[in-house]
């Protein structure tokens, strides 16, 4: 559901990339070490804050989640993603952008 809520209008690879970021966070000492911990971390995902996370995931989002879980990481290990056109946090712009898919950039 997090992939769907965060990347519904993005290309398929962008959906996989969002899933990969969530999984990459689990392995980072800077984030919770469980998927639920990562998803529900305070202020981590806008879709949890605004309730969009509760929407049913579509087929593409479910398939993207399976690919990310299987190890496909088109972000090359990134821990962050954001939409440059809507990002308001000055801190997020201190991250190094690695790749862009659709409207999201992915960074470390």
Confidence of residue 28 (pLDDT cuts 50, 70, 90): very high
pLDDT for the residue numbered 52: 86
> Which three-class secondary structure state does DSSP give residue 29?
coil
Confidence of residue 50 (pLDDT cuts 50, 70, 90): confident
pLDDT for the residue numbered 73: 98
Judge residue 4's burial from the number of C-beta atoms within 10 Å of its C-beta, 0-12 exposed, 13-18 middle, 19 or more buried. Answer: buried
> Is the pLDDT at 53 greater than 90, yes or no?
no
The mean of the pLDDT values for the chain is 95
pLDDT for the residue numbered 18: 98
Percent of the chain having pLDDT more than 90?
83
Taking the C-alpha atoms of residue 23 and residue 71, their distance in angstroms, rounded to an integer, is 9
Taking the C-alpha atoms of residue 25 and residue 78, their distance in angstroms, rounded to an integer, is 8
Per-residue pLDDT, averaged over 52-75, amounts to 95
Judge residue 59's burial from the number of C-beta atoms within 10 Å of its C-beta, 0-12 exposed, 13-18 middle, 19 or more buried. Answer: exposed
pLDDT for the residue numbered 43: 80
């Amino acid at each position: 559901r997090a992939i769907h809520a965060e990347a519904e209008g993005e290309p398929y690879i962008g959906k996989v990339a969002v899933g990969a970021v969530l999984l990459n966070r689990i392995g980072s000492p800077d984030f919770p070490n469980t998927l639920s911990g990562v998803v529900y971390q305070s202020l981590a995902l806008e879709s949890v804050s605004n309730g969009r996370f509760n929407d049913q995931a579509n087929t593409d989002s479910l398939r993207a989640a399976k690919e990310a879980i299987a190890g496909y990481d088109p972000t090359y290990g990134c821990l962050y993603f954001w939409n440059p056109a809507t990002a308001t946090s000055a801190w997020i712009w201190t991250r190094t952008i690695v790749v862009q898919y659709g409207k999201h950039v992915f960074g470390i």
